[in-house]
Amino acid sequence: MDVLRSTSKRKVYNCARQSGKSTVAAIKALHRAVFYPRSMVILLSPSQRQSSELFRKVTDLLAKMPDPPELLEDNKLSLTVANGSRIVSLPSNEKTIRGYSAVDLIIEDEASRVDDDIYAAIRPSLAVSNGEYDMLSTPKGKRGHFYEAWSSEDWERVQFTAEDNPRISEDFLKQERAALGSRMFAQEYECVFLEDMEGGMFQRQWFKLTDDYPRDARPVRFWDKAATEPKAGTDPDYTAGCKMYAKGGQFWVVDMRHARLTPKGNEDLIRTTAELDGVRVPIRMEEEGGSSGKDTTDHYARSVLAGYDFKGVRATGSKVERAAPLSAAAEAGNLFVVRGPWDYQGFIDECCAFPNPEVHDDQVDAASGAHRELTLTANANPNRFLKYASAR
């Protein structure tokens, strides 16, 4: 209630996941529109989907009112109340934002994920009205306008961690800490601003070097294929293929192929590696978005890896989010690196630098993908491709 009653013109809320940020934003927006005639309220979100979800919370609250106000306009992302007030929910798009003026209230949801240029574009809309600006978010590193606002005495600051939330159980938080690792857990549930651009998601002492792995463990080979062909004078990405085994909640990185090649060179490398691994090893490849990514996957399935257990996998979330479960496994002592004729020390070095933008992260992406596949899926019938073995 203190959050809703505050009269400060600049407020920043550093809130854990599932703390009710969007619901508070919807309540504030609806209260302003209903009780202050001719108010202009903007709800700002990082994406179209999040804008739609936030606005749906507003309309859900409106429907629950015992005596809801009459609406003159009501569509998917805006409404106009009979008293002249408007609520508009916008995605993070500079072209749509610059058209608004004399705004009375801006609520920026998931502010750490909104680009700084969007923030700069929307602020002038408060100049004439001397309106209110509220930011609500979980942290995302020590950078950007959300972190700067949190670090400034010009903003009223409120922090609400997962431990402050009676709706979240201790058992759930314990499971999340184990799944995400201490770094990501600190960000998502303890509201800590991490130095996530300087590496640190992995620590060298977490990697356990070993000379062997269980022969009855489940395997996968996961490829993160470079999207562009290497050219002189550039520093393009590498193609990386991680071979990983899993058993009993533990994981062994056995091999990593890592090279800069032409598209034809990538095909030759991936085909040759599949022949060496054998048909018992499932092959997965990160699939780029759009039709081109689907076409590439289809080409590999038909021409390059015919007869193998192969499929493309669409990536979801940021690279840091995708690497978090692998980091958690390493921190818990469940990630082993098998010594061999591959550059395992280079793999560890890359992990320890991640997510420094000046260091390549292709091996981390490949290992994260392999870990994800072994965690979420099981090879239901590892012998189903053996019928092709005699033909190869």
From the number of C-beta atoms within 10 Å of its C-beta (0-12, 13-18, 19+), residue 129 rates as middle
Rounded CA gap, 180 and 175, in Å? 9
Bridge partners of 86?
40, 80
Give me the DSSP letters along 333-346: T-EEEE-SSS-HHH
Residue 391 has what pLDDT? 41
Q: Phi/psi of residue 314, each to 5°?
A: -75, 135
pLDDT in tens, the chain (392 residues): 566 777 889 999 999 988 888 888 899 999 999 999 999 999 998 888 888 888 899 999 998 999 889 988 888 889 999 999 999 988 877 777 777 888 999 999 999 999 898 898 899 999 889 999 999 999 988 888 999 999 998 999 999 999 888 989 989 998 888 777 777 788 899 998 876 444 578 988 899 999 999 999 999 999 999 876 665 556 678 999 999 999 999 999 999 999 989 999 999 999 999 999 999 999 999 998 778 889 999 999 999 999 999 999 998 888 888 999 999 999 999 999 999 999 998 899 899 888 877 778 999 999 999 999 999 865 444 444 444 444 44
| Chain position carrying tokens 């085909």 | 271
20, two tokens: 């009710």
As a three-state string, the secondary structure of 196-259 is CCCCCCCCHHHCEEECCCCCCCEEEEEEECCCCCCCCCCCCCCEEEEEEEEECCEEEEEEEEEE
Give Cα separations from 62 to 1, 58, 197 (angstroms). Answer: 19, 6, 41
Kindly list the structural domains of the chain, giving each domain's residue range(s) and its CATH number in brackets, ordered by start. Answer: 2-175 (3.40.50.300), 204-391 (3.30.420.240)
Whether 46 and 25 have beta carbons less than 8 Å apart is answered as no
Give Cα separations from 362 to 126, 224, 322, 340 (angstroms). Answer: 44, 6, 12, 20
pTM to 2 decimal places: 0.60
Nearest to 157 by CA among 1, 15, 5: 15
Rounded CA gap, 13 and 10, in Å? 10
Residue 212 has what pLDDT? 96
Residue 380 has what pLDDT? 45
Rounded CA gap, 148 and 155, in Å? 10
Rounded CA gap, 77 and 89, in Å? 5
Residue 198 has what pLDDT? 46
